[in-house]
Amino acid sequence: MTNTKQIAVYKNKKALIEFMDDTRYEKKPSAWPHAGMSRIRINAKDYSEGHGDASVDAFYNLSPDEFYRLSNALTAAKDATAADYARCSKYLKRLSELKQSFGHETASGSSEIVEIAKQFAGSKNEIFSEAGQKLMGAIGRLNLTTVNENRILEEKITEAEAELEEIKKARVLYSNVKILNFEKYINPENEKEHRVTMLKVVYYPKLNFPYAFTVANGWGESLVTKQKGVMIKEGSAHYEETINILLDEKALFPMLHRADVFLRAMATHALSEYFEAVVNPPLFYTFAEEEI
């Protein structure tokens, strides 16, 4: 049976991940039509051990703003990594070429000058001999400067190589944990606990399927702050359902695009009443008796 709430889905032999419609809209005309509980729900299922009771399910809810933050982070990851890699590779190549040419030219030039200085130093003419000795001393100081410059160049090359390796490493694009502090999400085995949901997305540039999604559900104790906000009591969260799934660009980006199109279309539809209200205000206004 087709789930009409499903916006997009990706499946492999072991797991699936889907974007579901859980949006809610204000009843009265509003410039931002999404209600406070309007969501795009991410459902994940691991059926590697079998279907039915043997499968593992988890979910995470994204507000429209959170969805766009996630989407922007995912779409920008590859371009940013490629740009950093190209910049660092070009810089490293220039340093290597500079080291090679600098070392060759310095060695070649120094050897010629040393030979001339030796000839002067070995001359029977005192003036030439003294000049040769001074020249040998200057060459020694010049070689010391060259050694220092080579050392600095080596350090720059080492730093560039380390940066290049850092760019290749995995990076966290999105990570968040929420506690659902509502009555229906109370843990039936422990009334102090509520449902905890977690979403984490890691980007692995070296992998063919570089986008690693982790969706996890569990329990934790809620803590109400002085500002009436709700957070998870430190150290109380524990997860019972965790699903990991890898996606490539061909699978992920069309899903993000579908959800984006859906949110835009539904927001536009929900804004129709607000549009009518602001562009066609009532021509006549009936005053109450106390206003006259």
pLDDT tens across 161-211, in order? 676 677 677 788 999 999 998 889 999 999 999 999 999 999 998 888 999
Of 168, 202, 227, the one marking the end of a domain is 168
Range of the domain at 244: 6-62+170-279
The arithmetic mean of pLDDT across residues 206-218, rounded, is 93
Please report, for the domain that includes residue 88, its CATH number.
1.10.287
Statement to judge: residues 159 and 187 lie in one domain: no
Of 144, 168, 192, the one marking the end of a domain is 168
Statement to judge: residues 143 and 83 lie in one domain: yes
Statement to judge: residues 151 and 268 lie in one domain: no
Whole-number pLDDT of residue 108: 47
In a domain, 289, yes or no: no
Statement to judge: residues 53 and 185 lie in one domain: yes
In a domain, 88, yes or no: yes
Where do we find the tokens 């910049």? 87
Higher pLDDT, 144 or 276: 276
Whole-number pLDDT of residue 142: 55
Higher pLDDT, 36 or 104: 36
pLDDT tens across 68-78, in order? 999 999 998 88
Cβ(16)–Cβ(245) below 8 Å: yes
In a domain, 99, yes or no: yes
The number of domains in the chain is: 2
